[in-house]
Amino acid sequence: MTNEPLRIGVLGAARIAELSIVGPARAGGHRLVAVAARDRGRAESFAAAHGVERVADSYADLIADPEIDVVYNPLANSLHGPWNLAALRAGKHVLTEKPSASNAEEAIEVHEAVTKAGTVFMEGFHYLFHPVTRRLHELLDSGELGELRHVEAMVAMPAPPDSDVRWSLPLAGGALMDLGCYSLHALRMLAPWAGGAPRLVAARGGEKAGAAGVDEWLYADLEFPSGITGTANCHMAYDKWQMSCRVVGTRGEATAMNFVQPHLDDRVVVRTAAGERTEELGRRSSYTFQLEAFAAHLRDGAPLALDADDALTTMRLIDDCYRAAGFPVRPRTVLPAAG
């Protein structure tokens, strides 16, 4: 057991990294050892702005750095799988943004690489570590809502520009990859109260104009072994931001108003025969809770809810949704051979 700080390397200079890794690392006293980006100037600016110790010449150089224990991967979806594999083969622990790969076939390879490396791999479903989501689960445990009967999750946002990488099929884009994976995962995490893991019943979606094969929205219907129903919906050209999760029981219901971004809205609204109340669970970043859990596992062997098994299961469900809705599964990207 040690309280030594994690030594983290960051792939890319994405804006999300300020929220997802820079702030949490500072809060936990961890070291941001290095950052690498395709444009060295961007990496240098990122390092200067966020206190990263040095800039690596390439992603490969960062992964090879012996002073780095943990590789954080927030690259475009298409580069999650290849660089997760590279980092695992280099013997690093990996914290990757979701989804962990472009498709299930690639996720199987990542799973195999984790087993061979013997290191820790976690897909960044940060929402799961926040008190907002924990409260939904506590309400089901307590019996206040009765027996679970239905769940619905909606993760939607206004449309990004047409040039955004999230609209690119070769870069493994699409609403389900970027947003809907949260909805699917939130439903999967209700298995303990629903008799087991859900199965996909049906899915439908709409294609982004001018982007063949890319889903602008996708709605999926699922069913649990106990007969509980669920909908996992996503929309990447919606008229507003909505990231809600609603669980309905025989005695009442509870809605997390923004389970994906609880630092913006930490409310859980509970409705039962006794009336309605709003609980506020705190706006500390879910990413900070996530990194704390990751560090506790590495340091002390504390339980970790997310692993390569979980990532593979989610990716298989994503592929199933795409096929059922008439979309192709996302293509994988193969890195050029070194040398």
Rounded to whole angstroms, the Cα distance separating 120 from 261 reads 25
Owner of token pair 């909908």: 231
DSSP per-residue letters across 234-298: EESS-SS-EEEEEEEESSEEEEETBSS-TTT--EEEEEETTEEEEEE---S-HHHHHHHHHHHHH
Q: Does 98 qualify as catalytic in the annotation?
A: yes
Bridge partners of 233, per DSSP, are 154, 219
Bridge partners of 268, per DSSP, are 256, 279
Amino acid at 36: A
DSSP per-residue letters across 85-121: HHHHHTT-EEEEPSSSSSSHHHHHHHHHHHHHHT--E
Catalytic residue among 98, 116, 208, 240: 98
Rounded to whole angstroms, the Cα distance separating 229 from 150 reads 5
Active-site residue set: 98
